[in-house]
Amino acid sequence: MNSEIAIFLDHVWVKYDHRIVLENISLKVSSREIVSIVGPNGGGKTTLLNTILGFKEPFKGKVSVFGVRPQDIEKNGMIGYLPQTSPHDIQFPVRVFDVVAMSRYGRKSFLGRLNGEDRDLIVDSLKKVEMADFQSHHFGSLSGGQKQRVLIARALALRPKILILDEPSTGLDSVAQDQFYQILQKLRVDEKLTILMVSHDIGVVSGIVDQIACLNKQIHFHGNPKEGIPSEALIEVFGRNVQFVLHDKNCETCEKGL
Amino acid sequence: MIALFGSQFFQNAFIMSLLLSILFGFFSFFVIMRKMAFLGAGIAHTAFGGVALGVLMGINPFYSSLVFCIVAAVLVGKLTQVGHVSYDTGIGIFFSFSMALGVFFIALKKAYAFDLSGYLFGNILGVTRFDQFLVLIVVLVCIPVMFGYLHKILFLTFDEKVAAVSGVPTQMLDTLLLVTLAMIIVISIKIVGIILVSALIVLPASFGMLISKDYRKVIGSAVGYTLVIMIGGLVLSYYLDLPTGAVIVILGTLIYFITLVLSKLKSG
Ligand SMILES: Nc1ncnc2c1ncn2[C@@H]1O[C@H](COP(=O)(O)OP(=O)(O)O)[C@@H](O)[C@H]1O
Ligand SMILES: [Mg+2]
């Protein structure tokens, strides 16, 4: 397998004001791997993604994405990103096609318009998430799972090398969740994508990822979940409610505070 | 009607309204979608301090209010980025500070009889060739900018973080939006006045949203609506001999509510 390093964090420390949120984080994600970061709310998962995306700068340590500093990645569109809470107003007057088209417009020059190739890419991206039939639907009228898939299509329309997803399955029912994860697995193979996904649902995620990193300020465990995660690490990260996290797929207490 | 169009001041105001409608229709959409309606009111009120300063120093109040508003718009943007304050709070601070400065400046210039109500409520009789020329310049600058960046601004408005990761220069566009908004507001104060200009920021896109769920049509109908209310208001106010700004806003509000009722009836 290709062992090129997609994401590399080398002893990274991050703070907000004077509070340290990420402590000595080292993480290596190889190209075409699918990796999940799990941890409790407030554990620093979103902050870690913000650091990789260049929104937040560490005060110590180094971050690189395919060898490039995060501050420079914005320009080349190699990262497709799905933020945690989609802030979209359901009234926002855009069709599904328009939402995916945004990615293409983002990379156009001043006055740039879509060409045939862009349109094909947009429709193609929608097909990959099984949403091509909804092209002219109003985005706000879709279900949560459908919206998430459209937003994945928008990320794919960038032709990214990496997908970064922040709790993409939150708020989806279990059928929509299963469908979503199936699509991700397929994309990973077909599109040769590296996927970094935040989740607080170890149970579901364990079955599909190559690596899992348990994060609560520090990374307490980092490895292949199929080989077993030491229970001390889980308790360190999740506290005593760890049983909930592991067994109850639709655990409501895990969602608290979101 | 012939007499009406024959008069110079009316021609000036007519052309100005025509040009401004396009800008208001467009910007209204982004202001509404970004939930910055209060920003329009804030910038307009900030203009008051600038107007008073111009009067005090004996320079054209247009220039001083333009500088005031652009500086305020940019500072509000910076304050929200750096100081973790919301737009509303940032604007609230500037808005009242600038109004207070305005009152202060006017008090300093004791002996001056100053057409306060003209600035507060608009006075199309005060529209000059020079104003018209300024509007033309602003329009010539803003229209290519808005069409050139339409989709990038749409992306930014829809989802700022993702837009940034996807190659949209979000901070530059943010500032650009604020500065253009400030310019448009300042140049339209002559017609509608400081108090009423915020209606032109809020109403057009709100109307457009009743018409369609496709942003192209929303923007298009917002522009059409603004044209109708500005030109309609201008003509009506001439015949009824009433303040133009007030007539425009009343007409606009009536059309908005009638359309709202009709669209509710239609959708059952
Ligand atoms: N913009 C911010 N300013 C200050 N503190 C923040 C900010 N964003 C996150 N934090 C703090 O950093 C910690 C980690 O948050 P976050 O990365 O969002 O956790 P998670 O995504 O794992 O729930 C939390 O304590 C949170 O309060
Ligand atoms: Mg988070």
Tell me, what's the pLDDT at A240? 62
Chain A within 8 Å of B263 (Cβ-Cβ)?
no
Q: Is the pLDDT of residue A257 over 50?
A: no
Q: Any idea which of A53-62, A99-108, B32-41, B209-218 has the lowest mean pLDDT?
A: B32-41
DSSP letter (8 states) at residue A95: B
Tell me, what's the pLDDT at A138? 95
Tabulate helix, strand, coil % of chain B (nearest 5): 85, 0, 15
C-alpha A12/C-alpha A215 separation (Å) is: 13
Tell me, what's the pLDDT at A166? 94
Is the distance from CB of A129 to CB of A183 less than 8 angstroms?
Answer: yes
Encode pLDDT of A169-209 as tens digits: 887 888 888 888 889 888 888 888 999 999 877 777 778 88
Residue with the larger pLDDT of the pair A158 and A171: A158
Ligand 1 proximal residues by C-beta, below 6 Å: A 16, 21, 39, 41-47
The average pLDDT across A84-97 equals 84
* pTM of the entire predicted model: 0.88
Test A83 with B154 for CB contact under 8 angstroms.
no
Q: Is the pLDDT of residue A242 over 70?
A: no
Average pLDDT of the residues of chain B: 86
Test A88 with B158 for CB contact under 8 angstroms.
yes
Q: How many helices (H) and strands (E) does chain B have?
A: 12, 0
Read off the pLDDT band of B113 (50, 70, 90).
low
Tell me, what's the pLDDT at B112? 62
Residue B233 C-alpha, separation from nearest chain A C-alpha, in angstroms: 29
Residue B61 C-alpha, separation from nearest chain A C-alpha, in angstroms: 34
C-alpha A178/C-alpha A139 separation (Å) is: 22
Of A54, A55, A44, the residue nearest A200 (C-alpha): A44
Q: Is the pLDDT of residue B60 over 90?
A: no
Of A10, A66, A6, the residue nearest A188 (C-alpha): A6
Of A20-29, A215-224, B61-70, which has the strongest mean pLDDT? A20-29
For an interface test with B, the pick among A72, A81, A91 (most B C-beta atoms closer than 10 Å) comes out as: A81
Of A220-229, B106-115, B184-193, which has the strongest mean pLDDT? B184-193
Tell me, what's the pLDDT at A15? 95
Q: Is the pLDDT of residue B230 over 80?
A: yes
Encode pLDDT of B65-100 as tens digits: 989 888 888 888 787 777 777 777 878 888 888 889
Close Cβ partners of A179 (under 8 Å, ≥ 6 residues apart): A145
Six-digit token pair at B220? 């298009």
Three-point CA angle B245, B127, B106, nearest 5°: 80
Chain B within 8 Å of A102 (Cβ-Cβ)?
yes
Tell me, what's the pLDDT at A58? 95
Q: How far is the CA of A142 from the centre of ligand 1 (A)?
A: 29
Tell me, what's the pLDDT at A254? 39
Q: Is the pLDDT of residue B207 over 50?
A: yes
Hey, what CATH topology would domain B2-262 get?
ABC transporter involved in vitamin B12 uptake, BtuC (1.10.3470)
Chain B within 8 Å of A158 (Cβ-Cβ)?
yes
Q: Is the pLDDT of residue B54 over 70?
A: yes
Task: Tell which B residues from 123 to 182 touch A, by Cβ distance under 8 Å.
Answer: 144, 147-149, 151-152, 154-155, 158-159, 161-168
Encode pLDDT of A107-132 as tens digits: 888 878 899 999 999 999 999 999 99
What percent of chain B lies above the pLDDT cut of 70? 96
Q: Is the pLDDT of residue B151 over 90?
A: yes
Q: Any idea which of A55-59, A112-116, B74-78, B111-115 has the lowest mean pLDDT?
A: B111-115
Q: Is the pLDDT of residue A244 over 60?
A: no
Three-point CA angle A65, A69, A74, nearest 5°: 85
Tell me, what's the pLDDT at A109? 83
Ligand 1 binding pocket mutation candidate from A15, A16, A59 (most atoms within 8 A of CB): A16
Test A102 with B154 for CB contact under 8 angstroms.
yes
Using an 8 Å CB-CB cutoff, list chain B residues near A108: 151-152
Q: Is the pLDDT of residue B187 over 60?
A: yes
Of B11, B3, B49, B21, the residue nearest B192 (C-alpha): B21
Q: How far is the CA of B50 from the centre of ligand 1 (A)?
A: 41
Q: Is the pLDDT of residue B8 over 80?
A: no
Tell me, what's the pLDDT at A178? 87
DSSP β-bridge partners for residue B46: none
Tell me, what's the pLDDT at B2? 57
Test A101 with B33 for CB contact under 8 angstroms.
no
What value of ipTM does the predicted structure carry?
0.86
Of A7, A160, B215, A199, the residue nearest A152 (C-alpha): A160
Terminal-to-terminal C-alpha distance of chain A: 38
For an interface test with B, the pick among A103, A134, A138, A196 (most B C-beta atoms closer than 10 Å) comes out as: A103
Of A158-172, B208-222, B228-242, which has the strongest mean pLDDT? B208-222
Read off the pLDDT band of B252 (50, 70, 90).
very high
C-alpha B134/C-alpha B142 separation (Å) is: 12
